[in-house]
Amino acid sequence: LEDIVAGGTPIAPINPDQWLQAVRHALRAGGHRITWPRNRVLQTIVRYQAPFTAEKLYADLQHLQMQQTPGRATVYRTLDQLVHSGWVVRLHTSNSEAGYYATWPGHIHHIVCTSCGKVIAFAGCMIEGMMTHLARQTGFTVEGHTLQVYGRCAQCQALS
Amino acid sequence: LEDIVAGGTPIAPINPDQWLQAVRHALRAGGHRITWPRNRVLQTIVRYQAPFTAEKLYADLQHLQMQQTPGRATVYRTLDQLVHSGWVVRLHTSNSEAGYYATWPGHIHHIVCTSCGKVIAFAGCMIEGMMTHLARQTGFTVEGHTLQVYGRCAQCQALS
DNA sequence: ATACCTGCAAACAATTTGCACAAAC
DNA sequence: GTTTGTGCAAATTGTTTGCAGGTAT
């Protein structure tokens, strides 16, 4: 139980090159193809320092002033793929627009700064213990959960 | 810490009449008016046994075959109010349509059955402990969190 | 070769909004 | 009588889809 309680250990931030390489590998392994538009989308995603929306990603790609830029459909389709394969998290925002950010696949939670948007990932979530407890009390079989934590990062607190 | 770990105590289901009365009181206290359409919306909401969508609520209101039924705008506006005042929870579904269900205001979490949609509320969430731990480790000030738990209820398990 | 992928523009679906009227306090 | 709420229909917005070519493997 101590281990569970001790959960919530921050994880090192994403290394863009490592991430890109890993995603490309995973895509290929899944029978997908590494195309030019896809690559551009991946590269743009991994450079964000805060959660982004699909439309922002699309707009940013336009503004890169290349001869050719990925179309809106490609952006949405690629995002979907990445969410399904676990390389991107879809945030449930209060408004209608979905937020996204890059991550490593697996059971990881995140804390998002409400001021600057910075995301910190942490592993070892103690919710599992509560799940077991709940299951016993209610008769439910717990299949999963979503957790979103928000707050203000140290930097933003210092500024206020 | 034991108390926190022991968290996850189921809460009794909502009593429709109690809920209606409480909501009406709260609305009035907030400077709002108890109108006929509002009442119809409230009454319909409290009878649901599983999360519902705004459009379903609207459709159901239409099918009640009254001389007058609340308009779509009223349904959405009322839902918004209730969510803001904490009497209704907005579920973050995987698709674009938002789910809703009645609850009591306050820090309560819910577990939703993926088969029948039944919702069980529970209090005493041990996440608080993890929050403190996290805050210490990351320098964040934790402002809040959202948690959604899903699984299969005892009844649905028996049926399979 | 043959999947798979792309871009475009049209289609969609959920939700929001402007406004003139109505109702509650 | 003033503030708050309502209904309608039109407008918005985020996202998805059909299809006629392209392109990676």
In this structure, what are the phi and psi dihedrals at residue A8, rounded to the nearest 5 degrees?
100, 45
In this structure, what are the phi and psi dihedrals at residue B106, rounded to the nearest 5 degrees?
120, 180
Statement: the pTM of the whole predicted model exceeds 0.85: yes
User: Are A44 and A61 spatial neighbours (Cβ–Cβ below 8 Å)?
Assistant: yes
Question: pLDDT of A103-153, one tens digit each?
Answer: 999 878 889 999 999 998 888 777 777 788 888 888 999 998 888 889 999
Unique residue bearing structure tokens 């009878």:
B47
As a rounded value in angstroms, the CA-to-C1' distance for A150 and C11 is 37
3-state helix, strand, coil in chain B (%, to 5): 45, 20, 35
d(CA B135, CA B142): 6
| Average pLDDT along chain B | 88
CA distances from B131 to B90, B103, B125 (A): 23, 24, 11
B60 pLDDT band (50/70/90 cuts)? very high
Smallest Cβ–Cβ distance between A122 and the set B129, B134, B152 belongs to B134
Q: Report which of residues A160 and B5 the model is more confident about.
A: A160
Asked if A135 lies within 8 A of B151 by C-beta distance, the reply is yes
d(CA A35, CA A79): 14
Beta strand ranges found along chain A (DSSP E): 9-10, 52-53, 88-91, 99-102, 109-113, 119-123, 141-152
Determine the residue of chain A that is closest to B140 in CA distance. A153
Question: pLDDT of B15-35, one tens digit each?
Answer: 999 999 999 999 999 999 999
B73 touches strand D (CB under 7 A): yes
Total residues belonging to chain A: 160
Determine the residue of chain A that is closest to B154 in CA distance. A139
B131 pLDDT band (50/70/90 cuts)? confident
d(CA B152, CA B160): 10
d(CA B128, CA A130): 12
B3 pLDDT band (50/70/90 cuts)? very low
User: Are A41 and A74 spatial neighbours (Cβ–Cβ below 8 Å)?
Assistant: yes
CA A149 distance to own-chain centroid: 13
Minimal CA–CA distance to B35: which of B78, B87, B73, B84? B78
The type of residue at B41 is: V
Question: pLDDT of B134-145, one tens digit each?
Answer: 888 889 999 988
Minimal CA–CA distance to B133: which of A103, A117, A111, A59? A111
Asked if B151 lies within 8 A of A157 by C-beta distance, the reply is no
B5 pLDDT band (50/70/90 cuts)? very low
Enter the tokens of residue A98. 């979905």
Has residue B65 got a pLDDT over 60? yes
Which pLDDT value is given to residue A109?
86
Smallest Cβ–Cβ distance between A150 and the set B127, B137, B144 belongs to B144
Which pLDDT value is given to residue A8?
64
Question: pLDDT of A39-81, one tens digit each?
Answer: 999 999 999 999 999 999 999 999 876 778 999 999 999 999 9
In this structure, what are the phi and psi dihedrals at residue B107, rounded to the nearest 5 degrees?
-85, 90
Minimal CA–CA distance to B34: which of B43, B24, B26, B44? B24
